[in-house]
Amino acid sequence: MGMIGGGKDAFIGAIHRIAANMDGLVELVCGSLSINKEIAIDSGRSLFLPEDRIYTTYEEMLEKESQLPADKRMDFVTIVTPNFAHFGPAIMALDKGFNVVVEKPVTLSLEEAKKLNEKLEETGLTLCLTHTYTGYPMVKQAKDLIKKGTLGKIRKVYVEYRQGWLARLTEREGNQGAAWRMDPKKSGKSAVMGDIGTHAFNLAEYITGLEVTKLCADLTTVVDGRGLDDDGSVLLKFNNGASGVLFATQVAAGEENNLSIKVYGENGGIEWHQHEPNTLLLKWIDKPAEVLRAGSAYLSDIAKQNTRTPGGHPEGYLEAFGNIYRNFALTISAKINGSSIDNSVIEFPSIKEGIRGMAFIESTVKSSQSDEKWVDYTI
């Protein structure tokens, strides 16, 4: 693995490295870890990278790595830069023959996402999008239950992501993460939907197996002086006729990363909260509710494949992230070795989810700015 961004002055880079290292399948061999030359070099040295594989620009890294022998150069690159700096490095990496892992949202715009997909089809390479929450074993258990028809036809979906870290004008207080997220040139058309709304959207589609076809959105800027929205509510229509509500806010003072989802079908419902990730509630219309727990023998194969510890040993955000990297690494290794894997249990978000996420962002902005409100979700 090589890495673009994610130096010692960044939070998410360390998360990616921990996740990638969790199963001993991935080794960080090179990096262009910051646009600041001194930070890039210092960060590379602190990670014990060879001096000749610490790069100060991503262009230099991709060019020089592509010239190394196949058994020496990196197999893939992870891009953990702000949104506006995803597309360029990803396109160049694919042109140089490297698979890609990229933070969400996949690009700055839907147009860029489509171009990235065209490049993937042209090269035959693989892209992994780190929608972390799909890596949780009980999220996968929920998906499997719905896929098997346990709940009957899905009727209603409620998904919400509440944060409070932007309840003040944090971007004016020296918080660089807040500053670029609230800059439309770096973040995109919507801050709250690009940053956390896409996670909620992705989780709803992933668990239900359904696709959004129409939506009605209201995006607002609660904190005065802010350049982009920090709060939003969206009504959803799915392709089976089900309806849903998506709520994403970053101004809910006192909240941390409060992501939760409830899905209801003809026979019952499921409920999952990221604050209690090892638990999945299974509710029935005509009998007592069940509490399903990670690490238990009664879970589905896909949940077991993505569980690391015995029951009673909590697994959380890092392990979910690790599942995405493990499944990606197993997939890439199989391609290199010419072997096969079981795609029914070894899976990860791809460019498809990236495109749908960008279309969601642009559709919510269109709806919020329109007098008509209900708009078709289009790609």
317 and 303 share one domain: yes
**Domain final position from 96, 129, 162:** 129
Residue 201 structure tokens = 């959207």
193 and 74 share one domain: no
147 and 273 share one domain: yes
**Domain final position from 129, 152, 170:** 129
99 and 204 share one domain: no
164 and 305 share one domain: yes
125 and 238 share one domain: no
pLDDT in tens, the chain (379 residues): 999 999 998 899 999 999 999 999 999 999 999 999 999 999 999 999 999 999 999 999 999 999 999 999 999 999 999 999 999 999 999 999 999 999 999 999 999 999 999 999 999 999 999 999 999 999 999 999 999 999 999 999 999 999 999 999 999 999 999 999 999 999 999 999 999 999 999 999 999 999 999 999 999 999 999 999 999 999 999 999 999 999 999 999 999 999 999 999 999 999 999 999 999 999 999 999 999 999 999 999 999 999 999 999 999 999 999 999 999 999 999 999 999 999 999 999 999 999 999 999 999 999 999 998 899 999 9
Q: Which of 156, 146, 92 is nearest to 119 (CA)?
A: 92
CA dihedral for 71, 76, 81, 86, sign (positive or negative): positive
Domain CATH for 119: 3.40.50.720
The pTM for the full model equals 0.97
Q: Report if residue 377 sits inside a domain.
A: no
Domain that holds residue 359: 134-369
Q: Report if residue 374 sits inside a domain.
A: no
**Domain final position from 102, 129, 156:** 129
124 and 143 share one domain: no
Domain CATH for 267: 3.30.360.10
Our count of domains for the chain comes to: 2
Angle at CA 251, nearest 5°, toward 247 and 252?
70
Residue 310 structure tokens = 């015995």
86 and 154 share one domain: no
Q: Which of 160, 132, 156 is nearest to 232 (CA)?
A: 160
